Chain A
Amino acid sequence: MEANVEARPVIKIEAPAVRQDEGALPAEQHELKMAARDVNLWYGEKQALFDVSLDIFARQVTALIGPSGCGKSTFIRCLNRMNDVIEGCRMKGDIALDGEDVYAPQVDPVQLRARVGMVFQKPNPFPKSIYENVAYGPRIHGLAHSKAELDEIVLKSLIRAGLYEEVKDRLNEPGTGLSGGQQQRLCIARAISVDPEVLLMDEPCSALDPIATARIEALMEELKETFCIVIVTHSMQQAARVSQRTAFFHLGKLVEVDETTKMFTNPSETRTQDYITGRFG
């Protein structure tokens, strides 16, 4: 079931929606990767997002924080049109990837999802071998033309996900036999195997212990050199550790978005202040 997408012309979102007073970012980090404008979303009759406008920049980590049910997961699922498959889900507004409307009729959601990869809350490797897990994406997208090329992609992805050393002797064993943290890194390897431009991570560490979490965070630090990463997290510390920009969602609305350092030290909104200091949520 495709979401109701109204036919409309391709829009070009050239200028960042950042306010002028936010121009404290280094110039090379101002490269706009994705932009959302006035995104409204309904699950059936219930509205889950209200006029969300957010910019996501390349080569940095954007963290989405907020209490449960505030719409942050819903929002990142809009970015790669994962909400399309949800029954009765309706969206209004514009989301652009490199200035191209991702909800335009000529955009194929399947291709979009290859460009905007996703890692989920619960590690969900396929019940196949470790090798097959990583090789699946390149295979269906025809990225490898020979077994050797495919082997190389799998190898490279596993190395980049920091998993290779641990699994190099058992690539043919089931991916579900790994530990939780390893499984999540396998999912990251799987997601980056198709060389996406944006990596969406929906609470990737919520099911992991602190050691595995630390590994994933270190990994994100490395990956942000190449990818644009959007992470949803419940952990304020995590957002502070890994992200450069933080967006605070509350009751389906984007309350505030700013540099992480500013958000955690001197937020402009009192609601942000209250949430970060633990007064609610």
Chain B
Amino acid sequence: MGLDIRWPIGLMFTLIGILLTGFGATKASASTSLDININLIWGVVLLIFGVLMLVGAVTGRTKNPPSA
């Protein structure tokens, strides 16, 4: 309905992914749990997910050009 939900989902998870990856990379000691840098790893996963959503949103737009 006028807004492809993939945009906000993609944007939000890309943003959170960047935040977590950054935090995990720079503050590795604070980011570990059970000897895994979970912030870094999960941050990357979220980033990939967000980007995939955005790709979906962009291809959706080119397939169905928005009506006025």
A, B co-complexed: no
Chain B positions within 8 Å of A, measured between CB atoms, are none
